[in-house]
Amino acid sequence: MVAGAGITALVLGFAAKSTLVNLLSGLSLAIYRPFHIGDIVTIENEYGTVEDITLRHTIVRTWEYKRLIIPNEKIDSMTLINYSIIDPTMLCITEFGVSYDTDIDLARRLILEEANKCPHRNEKADEPWMRVIGHTDFAIKLRLYVWVSNVNNLWLARFWLLENIEQRFDREGVEIPFPYRTVVFKKDLPPACQDEINPEEPT
């Protein structure tokens, strides 16, 4: 009976281990509070809003309205992004490519004019700015920086900027290039030029 009781206690201990660990992790989350209900986070490679926090698990509603039910033990040991904690202000970074024939000063002026019109930018922060960040095989890479008030406005601003700057480029004749290749068929190649070498006749 003593041996049977010991085995039963061992089995119950293993069965309760996960629950106890989750409870302790839940207490840790309640004390240190890395996020609150309503915070916008990226967790498990999913972007969403914290809906509920219990002692055993946390529920996150994704942007697709799926519910992630994550054990607190797992959350306690993972790295997550909290977009709402302390200061929700974010920097929206959007990149463009223009052809090598483009006047960079013209492209900069058009981009900044449209960026200042963006309804989703944070007008209380610094004004937008642009930098040339690289030269690829077929394009000059430009990067635009715009301050926004929160992560939701970051997505809205990026979509707005991509659409409106592309339309402005079309109106002003600024080319957004795309990769292209020149293909030459073998039958169209000119014949190879080979010098004929005649051996000298013996004297």
More confident residue, 94 or 45: 94
pLDDT, tens digit (0-9, with 9 covering 90-100), for 155-173: 999 999 999 999 999 999 9
Q: DSSP readout, 64-127?
A: TS-EEEEEHHHHTTS--EESSSS---EEEEEEEEE-TTS-HHHHHHHHHHHHHH-TTB-TTSPP
Domain residue ranges of the chain, discontinuous segments joined by +:
2-82, 90-172
> Taking a C-beta distance cutoff of 8 angstroms, is the pair 151, 83 a contact?
yes
CA distance 196 to 178: 45
Residues sharing a CB contact under 8 Å with residue 169, sequence separation 6 or more, in sequence order: 98, 107, 110, 175, 176
pLDDT of residue 198: 53
Q: Which residue has the higher pLDDT, 54 or 129?
A: 129
Q: Give burial (CB, 10 Å; 0-12/13-18/19+) of 53.
A: buried
Mean per-residue pLDDT over the chain, rounded: 83
Domain 2-82 classification at class level: mainly beta
pTM score of the predicted model: 0.72
Residue 136 has pLDDT above 70, yes or no: yes
d(CA 70, CA 167): 43
- Whether pLDDT at 59 is above 50: yes
Mean per-residue pLDDT for 125-150? Answer: 93
pLDDT of 25 above 70: no
Does 195 score more than 60 pLDDT? Answer: no
pLDDT digits (tens, 9 = 90+) for 69-92: 988 888 878 888 999 988 899 999
Instruction: Give the CATH number of domain 90-172.
Output: 3.30.70.100
